[in-house]
């Protein structure tokens, strides 16, 4: 129960802002201290005042009794009355005083006309008593009533009542003064706490915004050291951390750049090498094979020996097949048409040959205009589509494939879709094997994006998007 | 958190500990004023006045035994009445407001002359019914006679006291002066014991006092004997008598007289007599006061006596 209450209390406290916490703390402290001090002061004061009243009541009554003895014995009522009047004049707290003779009848009193009937019997002192004090409650005040026997009660009894009204008023005005003081100090406390809160929360707010900037990759914000305290230390630690993070990030970016350049170089080198080999195969090997075939044809025609003629014919067919194969290899390594006529022609040739080889229908759509695209983009798109088609043929068991290459503004988009068995892209352990990683790397080298949409039984769709940078466009125009 | 709570509770507890426990024992309404009931007197008391020879409290202390004795013997309540001056007691006797009174010699002479104050008895002290006026000065004083008191402060007892005023005045008159010019200053103490204390404390340089009171006071307060000394003793005077008002019923007068004369035969009565320094009460004649009467006649203006 109390645990629960404490928990709820803690929830409330922890949910408010630091500003409210500090303000609340300051106010709570001031109010608690103020209330405590006021309580303590008032109680001590009341206690002192009350014992003071009691003492004063006894002293005054004793004094009056001593001075009243002779006038009573001499029956000097005028002097007796004057004694009472003087007593009351000298001490404003004296509410009343009266003197009884030894028979208990009132000799003189300070009430003027009439006498409160209950008062007479309210207090009494024995003849041997020093005094007898009681507290009386009247309509609006407390009275310390002291009875003192005069001359061992042989002359009578003095009764004197001291009111606490005046002293209670003093205590009340002190209470008001204390309350005003507390209010003033509270106001001051709020001001000070507000200032303190501002001092404390400003570095925290700055820290929060700097942290958010760092989260977004901006390592530049530096915090000022406002004060030489824990917050100052925190700011310095934060600054050291962002500097370190910034340096690390720079190194990482440099490495990334290096890797990228390396990859570019590898791919470029690979392309160049393929191009060289393909040209070599086409120019030299194909020419030689063609010459060989022409020689074999001549040999066949000029020879009448049927045995040799058959052999020459057979060799000529082998040479023709080899020529075909060389052409094929050359084509696959680097279609010359891509360099000479551009992406559209190369794509058409690629799909045509792929169709012929795999006996599968390919639906090719190309919208890239008459303008040539930058060489590296053409190569990348060509290679990605080539790899996709290879995959489709090799793994998917598709019945048809569609290829779309399109230029949309400053972007080139290529989509290869098949209706094969598909796969779960995230679950694919052999992505690297499938060559998908290579495809993605090619796209990303050119700041492009490659997405694979595939699901078991739902076919595969490969979507490539490569931006055409302004500088590369300029380059193209310059070449033309 | 727990410490803070503990601190607060301790704080409040300490505040509570000083809370005064005020429990009014009664409630009264001081604004409800009602006329006082007139004191009811069940029985007419025997009223006994004692002239202010000694202070009012001393009188009560000394005479309470006598008052109680009279009350017991007469079967009536007895009220002790005191007044500041001798003349006031005389007035009470004249208007029959008191029945019996212990008066000063000079007061008797004035009362007897003015309204026929009647002698009832006289106290016997040291075997006689006379007393004296002592002229006293502080112990260390160089004064040896009234003549040396010229220009000094002199304490008088009552305006019509024989020993405290009339006799010292006679002494001054014999020196060919009046007290007003002879002394630097005079003042009334209204009782003889106060006059003794005035001299003992140096308030006055001299005073004339009743020999009975002086002896009685010294026996009560032996320290006084080291502070004052007697430098002159007057001729003997008739002792202050016990009187009754002339209107008192003769039977009562006789009853009271017999009571007083019998006191020394009763153990309680003897104690009461000892308390006022008296051996016994005796019958006294007016002739015993002739010497005083002639002394007072010599200074009538002083007393303003008719």
Same domain, B157 and B124: no
Q: Are A389 and A382 in contact (CB under 8 A)?
A: no
Same domain, B72 and B109: yes
B35 touches A at CB < 8 Å: yes
B99 domain-assigned: yes
Question: Which of A141, A188, A138 has its CA nearest to residue A34?
Answer: A188
- Domain identity same for B273 and B182: no
Residue among B94, B97, B96 at smallest CA distance from B113: B94
Q: Which of A73, A111, A137 sits opposite B60 (nearest CB)?
A: A73
Nearest to A113 among B20, B33, B60 (CB): B33
Q: How far is B98 from chain A (nearest CA, A)?
A: 13
> Which residue, A295, A464, A278, is CA-closest to A387?
A464
Any idea what the CATH number is for the domain that residue B150 is in? 3.40.190.10
Residues B218 and B261 in one domain: no
Give residue-wise pLDDT tens across range B22-40.
778 888 888 888 888 776 6
Residue B29: what pLDDT?
86
| 3-class DSSP assignment, residue A109 | strand
| β strands within A263-400, DSSP E | 362-367
- pLDDT at res. B263: 92
Q: Tell me whether residues B12 and A69 touch, CB distance under 8 A.
A: no
Residues 6+ positions from A185 with CB-CB distance below 8 Å? A30, A34
A152 has a chain B CB within 8 A of its CB: no
Residues of B in contact with A65 (CB under 8 A): none
Residue A275's pLDDT is what?
A: 85
Could you say which of B234, B253, B288 is where a domain stops? Answer: B234
Nearest chain B Cα distance for residue A239, angstroms: 36
- CB B85, CB A76: distance < 8 Å: no
For A:12-71, CB contacts with B below 8 A are 32, 36, 39-40, 43-44, 46-47, 50-51, 69-70
Q: Distance (Å) from the C-alpha of residue A151 to the closest C-alpha of chain B?
A: 8
Q: In angstroms, what separates the C-alpha of B15 from chain A's closest C-alpha?
A: 5
The enclosing H or E element of A464 equals: strand A460-467
- CA–CA min distance B200, chain A (Å): 22
pLDDT of residue A301: 84
Q: Alpha-carbon distance B212 to B128, whole Å?
A: 12
- The answer, yes or no, to whether residue B129 has pLDDT greater than 60, is yes
**Cβ-defined contact of A115 to B33 (cutoff 8 Å):** yes
Instruction: Annotate A40-66 with b (16+ C-beta within 10 A) or e (fewer).
Output: eebbebbeebbeebbebbbebbbbbbe
Residue A51: list chain B partners with CB under 8 A: 20
- Does the beta carbon of A117 lie under 8 angstroms from any beta carbon of chain B? yes
* Nearest CA-CA distance, residue B20 and chain A, Å: 5
- Whether residue B20 is contained in a domain is answered as no
- Please give the backbone phi and psi of residue A211, each rounded to the nearest 5 degrees, phi first: -65, -40
CATH level 2 (architecture), domain A341-480: 2-Layer Sandwich (3.30)
CB A423 within 8 A of CB A460: yes
Q: How far apart are CA A469 and CA A480, in angstroms?
A: 17
pLDDT of residue A197: 84
The residue among A66, A60, A47 whose CA lies nearest residue A92 is A60
Whether chain B has a CB inside 8 Å of the CB on A113: the answer is yes
Q: Is it true that domain A18-179 has CATH number 3.30.43.10?
A: no
Mean pLDDT of the region B71-85: 89
Flag if A138 and B28 touch (Cβ within 8 Å). Answer: yes
Contact B20 A151 (CB under 8 A): no
What DSSP string runs through A34-61?
HHHHHHHHHHHHHHHHHHHHHHHHHHHH
Residues 6+ apart with CB under 8 A from B218: B224, B225
Residue B107 inside a domain? The answer is: yes
Strand partners, B279: none
Residue B27 lies in a domain: no
Q: How far is B276 from chain A (nearest CA, A)?
A: 18
Asked if the structure places residue B211 within a domain, the reply is: yes
Select the more confidently predicted residue: B138 or A331: B138
Given B234, B249, B266, which residue is the final one in a domain?
B234
Q: How far is A202 from chain B (nearest CA, A)?
A: 28
**Which pLDDT band holds residue B305 (cuts at 50, 70, 90)?**
very low
**What are the two backbone dihedrals, phi and then psi, of residue B37, each rounded to the nearest 5 degrees?**
-70, 145
Q: Which domain holds residue B217?
A: 133-234
Question: CA of B29: which chain A residue's CA is closest?
Answer: A138
* Residue B159, domain member (yes or no): yes
Say if B42 is an interface residue toward chain A (CB within 8 Å): no
Same structural domain, B64 and B117? yes
Which of B3, B30, B81 best tests the A interface by mutation, with the highest count of A CBs <10 A? B30
- φ, ψ at B138 (rounded to 5°): -60, 150
Please determine, for residue B228, whether its predicted confidence score (pLDDT) is greater than 90.
Answer: yes
**Chain A contact for B85 (CB, 8 A cutoff):** no
- Co-location of B245 and B277 in the same domain: yes
Most B CBs within 10 A among A73, A140, A168, hence the mutation to make, goes to A73
Q: Is residue B91 part of a domain?
A: yes
Residues B125, B261, single domain; the answer is yes
Question: What is the number of domains present in chain B?
Answer: 2
- For residue B89, pLDDT over 60 is answered with yes
Tens-level pLDDT at each residue, chain A (480 residues): 667 888 888 888 888 887 788 888 888 888 888 888 888 888 888 888 888 899 999 999 999 999 999 899 888 888 999 999 999 999 989 999 999 988 888 899 999 888 998 888 888 888 888 899 999 998 888 899 999 999 888 889 999 999 988 888 888 898 899 889 888 988 898 898 888 888 888 888 888 898 999 888 888 888 888 778 888 888 889 999 999 999 999 999 999 999 889 988 988 898 889 888 888 888 888 888 889 889 888 888 887 788 888 888 888 899 899 988 888 888 888 888 888 888 899 999 889 988 888 888 899 999 988 888 888 888 899 989 998 888 888 887 888 899 999 998 889 999 999 888 887 766 555 554 567 888 888 888 888 998 888 888 888 899 999 998 777 667 666 655
**Chain A residues inside the 8 Å CB shell of B57:** 69-70, 73, 151
User: What is the least distance, in Å, from the CA of A139 to any CA of chain B?
Assistant: 6
Kindly provide the ipTM of the predicted complex, given to two decimals.
0.75
In total, the C-beta contacts within 8 angstroms joining chain A to chain B are 111
CB–CB contact B19 A135 (8 Å): no
**In this structure, are B159 and B195 located in the same domain?**
yes
Backbone CA torsion sign across B229, B235, B237, B239: positive
**How far is residue B189's CA from residue B198's CA, in Å, rounded to a whole number?**
8
Interface contact flag, B26 A136, Cβ < 8 Å: yes
Instruction: Report the distance separating Cα B217 and Cα B56, nearest Å.
Output: 14
Residues paired with A96 in a beta bridge: A161
Residue B251 resides in a domain: yes
Encoded tokens for A368: 């890239």
Nearest CA in chain B to A48: B20
Q: Indicate if B79 and B157 belong to the same structural domain.
A: no
Q: Do A135 and B84 touch (CB under 8 A)?
A: no
| pLDDT band, very low/low/confident/very high, at B49 (cuts 50, 70, 90) | very high
Q: To 5 degrees, how large is the angle CA A361–CA A365–CA A366?
A: 140
Q: What pLDDT shows up at residue A459?
A: 86
Q: How far is CA B221 from CA B208, B217, B227, in A?
A: 19, 6, 11
Same domain, yes or no, for B145 and B122?
no
B152 vs chain A: nearest CA distance in angstroms?
Answer: 29
Q: Which helix (H) or strand (E) element contains residue B21?
A: none
- A115 contact residues in B (CB cutoff 8 A): 33-36
Question: Hey, is the C-beta of A444 within 8 angstroms of any chain B C-beta?
Answer: no
Establish if B36 touches chain A: CB-CB under 8 angstroms.
Answer: yes
Asked if B28 and A111 come within 8 Å (Cβ–Cβ), the reply is: no
Contact status of B19 with chain A (Cβ, < 8 Å): yes
**pLDDT value of residue A479:** 58
């Amino acid at each position: 129960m109390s645990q629960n209450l404490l928990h709820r209390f803690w929830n409330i406290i922890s949910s408010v802002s630091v500003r409210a916490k500090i303000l609340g703390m300051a106010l709570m402290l001031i109010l608690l201290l103020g209330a405590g001090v006021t309580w303590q002061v008032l109680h001590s004061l009341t206690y002192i005042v009350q014992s003071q009243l009691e003492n004063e009541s006894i002293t005054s009554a004793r004094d009056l009794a001593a001075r009243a003895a002779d006038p009573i014995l001499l029956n000097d009522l005028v002097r007796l009355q004057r004694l009472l009047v003087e007593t009351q004049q000298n001490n404003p707290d004296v509410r009343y005083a009266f003197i009884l003779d030894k028979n208990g009848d009132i000799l003189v009193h300070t009430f003027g006309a009439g006498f409160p009937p209950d008062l007479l019997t309210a207090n009494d002192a024995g003849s041997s008593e020093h005094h007898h004090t009681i507290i009386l409650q009247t309509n609006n005040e407390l009275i310390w009533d002291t009875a003192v026997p005069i001359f061992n009660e042989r002359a009578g009894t003095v009764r004197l009542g001291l009111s606490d009204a005046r002293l209670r008023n003093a205590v009340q005005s002190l209470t008001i003064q204390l309350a005003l003081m507390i209010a003033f100090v509270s106001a001051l406390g709020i001001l000070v706490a507000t200032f303190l809160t501002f001092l404390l929360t400003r570095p925290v707010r700055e820290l929060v915004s700097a942290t958010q900037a760092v989260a977004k990759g901006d390592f530049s914000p530096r915090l000022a050291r406002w004060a030489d305290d824990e917050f100052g230390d925190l700011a310095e630690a934060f600054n050291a951390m962002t500097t370190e993070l910034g340096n690390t990030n720079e190194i990482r970016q440099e490495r990334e750049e290096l890797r990228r350049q390396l990859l570019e170089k590898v791919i470029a080198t690979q392309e160049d090498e393929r191009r060289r080999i393909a040209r070599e195969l086409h120019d030299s090997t194909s020419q030689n094979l063609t010459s060989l075939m022409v020689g074999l044809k001549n040999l066949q025609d000029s020879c009448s020996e049927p045995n040799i003629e058959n052999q020459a014919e057979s060799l000529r067919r082998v040479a023709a097949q080899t020529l075909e194969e060389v052409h094929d290899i050359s084509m696959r390594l680097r279609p010359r048409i891509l360099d000479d006529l551009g992406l559209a022609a190369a794509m058409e040739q690629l799909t045509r040959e792929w169709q012929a080889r795999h006996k599968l229908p390919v639906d090719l759509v190309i919208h890239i205009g008459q303008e040539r695209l930058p060489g590296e983009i053409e190569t990348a798109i060509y290679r990605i589509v080539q790899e996709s088609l290879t995959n489709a043929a090799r793994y998917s068991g598709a019945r048809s494939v569609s290829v779309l290459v399109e230029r949309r503004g400053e972007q080139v988009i290529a989509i290869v879709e098949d209706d094969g068995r598909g796969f779960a892209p995230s679950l694919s352990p052999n992505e690297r094997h499938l060559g998908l990683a290579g495809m993605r790397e090619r796209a990303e080298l050119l700041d492009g994006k490659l997405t694979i949409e595939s699901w078991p039984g739902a076919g595969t769709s490969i979507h490539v998007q490569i931006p055409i940078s302004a500088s590369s466009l300029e380059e193209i125009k310059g070449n033309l | 958190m727990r410490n803070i709570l503990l601190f607060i509770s301790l704080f409040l507890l300490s505040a509570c500990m000083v809370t005064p426990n005020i429990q009014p024992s009664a409630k009264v309404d001081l604004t409800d004023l009602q006329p006082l009931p007139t004191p009811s007197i069940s029985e007419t008391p025997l009223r006994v006045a004692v002239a202010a020879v000694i202070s009012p409290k001393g009188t009560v202390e000394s005479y309470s035994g006598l008052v109680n004795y009279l009350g017991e013997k007469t079967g009536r309540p007895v009220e002790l009445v005191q007044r500041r001056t001798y003349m006031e007691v005389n007035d009470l006797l004249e208007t029959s407001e008191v029945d019996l009174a212990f008066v000063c010699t000079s007061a008797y002479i004035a009362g007897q002359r003015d309204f026929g104050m009647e002698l009832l008895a006289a106290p016997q002290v040291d075997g006689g019914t006379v007393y004296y006026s002592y002229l006293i000065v502080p112990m260390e004083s160089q004064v040896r006679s009234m003549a040396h008191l010229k220009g000094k402060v002199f304490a008088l007892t009552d305006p019509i006291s024989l020993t405290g005023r009339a006799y010292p005045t006679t002494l001054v008159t014999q020196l060919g002066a009046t007290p007003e010019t002879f002394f630097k200053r005079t003042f009334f103490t209204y009782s003889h014991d106060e006059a003794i204390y005035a001299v003992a404390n140096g308030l006055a340089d001299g005073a004339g006092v009743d020999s009975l009171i002086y002896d009685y006071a010294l026996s009560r307060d032996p320290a006084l004997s080291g502070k004052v000394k007697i430098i002159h003793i007057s001729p003997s005077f008739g002792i202050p008598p016990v009187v009754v008002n002339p209107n008192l019923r003769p039977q009562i007068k006789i009853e009271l007289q017999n009571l007083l004369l019998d006191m020394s035969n009763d153990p309680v009565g003897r104690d009461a007599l000892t308390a006022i320094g008296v051996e016994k009460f005796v019958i006294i004649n007016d002739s015993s006061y002739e010497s005083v009467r002639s002394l007072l006649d010599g200074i009538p203006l002083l007393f303003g006596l008719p």
